[in-house]
Amino acid sequence: MEIQQEEHGKKGAFYIEEDGEWIAELTYVKSGDSEITIDHTEVDPKLRGENIGEDLVGAAAEYARENNLKVKATCPYAKKVLGEKPEFQDVLAK
């Protein structure tokens, strides 16, 4: 499954689309010039257990690295993943 990205102004999303419908999504808001805030993560129940949520957080982390940004989260799921996974510590906002 391909994770895609779209961005409009200060808001953006990483998502997986199937038959024209988003079946998994992570949304974020640019909070300043050097930071994004993940505010929502949702995965269709049929995809649960496949680590799709973690993959979406990983896509956001990679985007942050490529754009020299830090990441924080108000979404409880993303906050947990970012805090627990060592591979995301370099982009985690302090």
The whole domain housing 10 covers 4-88
| Residue 50 in domain | yes
- Which pLDDT score, from 0 to 100, does residue 1 have? 83
How many domains in the chain? 1
Which amino acid belongs to residue 48? Answer: R
CB atoms within 10 A of CB 76: 9
CATH number at residue 37: 3.40.630.30
Q: Which of 40, 25, 35, 22 is nearest to 79 (CA)?
A: 40
Token readout for 37 is 């805030």
| Residue 41 in domain | yes
Whose structure tokens read 């799709």? Answer: 52
- Which pLDDT score, from 0 to 100, does residue 4 have? 98
Whose structure tokens read 């979406």? Answer: 56
pLDDT tier at 5, thresholds 50, 70, 90: very high
7-16 pLDDT, tens digit per residue, is 999 999 999 9
- Which pLDDT score, from 0 to 100, does residue 3 have? 97
User: What 8-state DSSP symbol labels residue 27?
Assistant: E
Whose structure tokens read 């102004």? Answer: 9
30-71 pLDDT, tens digit per residue, is 998 899 999 999 999 999 899 999 999 999 999 999 999 999
